[in-house]
A and B are shown apart, each in its own frame.
Chain A
């Protein structure tokens, strides 16, 4: 009985497992191999060369910095939004639809829209000049600012969705209990709602951070030639310079950095709140 059950289970998970192995683990493994065997023999030389390169260092730091900044902005914008939608909104379904609406359009289209909005003659610059804040249009495009704006818009829905998922599971009785025990509204937020929603904040942050680290279209279209990030750098090495070894080295670094920082997020949240 249990053996046949197991067999059925195995059969069911087999296609998915095979798919992941064939199209994800194998390429990943060969990617690593390529990066460690630049000329048929094992060597870390590509890594040393890369980390010694000032241009790479800049790009690496920019990737991390922009991803962290975008994550922070998403958290700051997403938390109150999610809190409102989950606990106070009367039209929850509609609000959710609005929140995730950007996910229905492609990153290409969205990046182009930002070009229109942030361009020299876009509405933002028009407003800045019209209001007298600046005498002439500012450079809002093809820099870290426009990239961050693009990232935030791209990944804010993920943050909001993971927060709403967690907040919806906090029973209203808990906040009422806190109030009943003498906590003010602010007190019950800080002592109950916030600690219980940290797990959503972490999940959201990991999603946003990895998303920003690996996004290609947005930094390619909204970034400039002097604001490359790791993903655009991989493309540059592989397609423009035809240097596959160096491209795989950058890719491996990108994967490792993303994993390390995501696990830091997780362990921080576990420290703050061991039970969530």
Chain B
């Protein structure tokens, strides 16, 4: 059974409904990322799980118990804030010790645990510093240590790395992943950085307009998106309406015959990434051929990007740098059969 389950959650602010009929389930020990465009409700969802706000409807089940109305200080969930939310009047030691003091542990145990955790996040010797005397990355690690030291049943991160520079971001995400595998905690991680979320998670939940459109492993999402929104999200830019004519055989609405590796009942949409379409001279005899005319040609360093107008819509194609097609020229596009994904 799942460790955390959100059932039919409705949440929002006053009249403004952000999440509607929202479901999510997280297994014990799993690292789940919530990914989605800005303003889609990721933070809202996370804060509700933490107990900072109550859902308007629906249930939060944790470890088989109804947590919907459990007050936040009784949840034993960790939370790493985007702003870190370190206590400015307390030293690093006291910041990390805060949760343990609230749990009324004895002084010696607290000292031991805090020092151990500071060692884990590589901040030995910083105990008596104040947060404002530390760098962004160091603060982030204090926030992490403070959340980890209480041994939370569930650890939540709200874009913890967004304030850091690109290099440190990569370093810290490896660190977080390492800690998670070492300590085995269950985590929900919010980000809108696709690479970060694919790199760090066991599962990725992609949100759109207040619901989760697909939740799967990163490679599953990347290779087999289930909806057009997700497909666009992971880099599919070409979509054609297809009608099934036989096993793995389809007809585009200009009559072109498209053969695919996968099969799909009835009419569907085929999607393909720009790099999986090849460009040939007009009239070339190639599989899955579609005629078109070059609209725009953009130099992108390693590769060229062509926008090609066809009878079935505009195609974005990525070609080799030395393959030059002047604007206005008629070309034949060939879609790689095993790279076409079929969605409803």
The residues of A with any CB-CB pair to B shorter than 8 Å are: 171, 173-174, 176-184, 187, 191-192, 195-196, 273, 275-276
Contacts and interface: CB of A to CB of B under 8 A. Distances in A.
A181 B146 CA distance: 8
A180 B76 CA distance: 7
Given A176-B52, A275-B130, A187 B88 contact: no
Contacts of A183: 73, 98, 102
Q: Which 4 A-B pairs have the closest CB atoms?
A: A182-B102, A181-B99, A173-B85, A177-B85
B99 A174 contact: no
B103 interface: yes
Nearest to B74: A182
6 contacts: A173-B85, A176-B72, A178-B87, A179-B51, A179-B52, A191-B98
Contacts of B81: 173, 177
Given A180-B72, A181-B98, 16 more contacts: A171-B83, A173-B81, A174-B87, A176-B50, A177-B79, A177-B85, A179-B73, A180-B51, A180-B75, A181-B146, A182-B103, A183-B98, A183-B102, A184-B73, A191-B98, A275-B130
Interface residues of B, number: 26
Contacts of B76: 182
A181 B89 CA distance: 16
Interface of B: 47, 50-52, 71-73, 75-79, 81, 83, 85, 87-89, 98-99, 102-103, 130, 132, 146, 150
A196 B79 contact: no
A275 B68 CA distance: 38
Contact of A273 (B77, B89, B99): B89
A191 B87 CA distance: 9
Contact of A180 (B77, B83, B89): B77
Nearest to B76: A182
B141 to A, nearest CB: 16
A174 B85 contact: yes
A173 B83 contact: yes
A178 B72 CA distance: 10
Contacts of B72: 176, 179-180
A173 B79 CA distance: 11
Nearest to B102: A182
Contacts of B150: 181-182
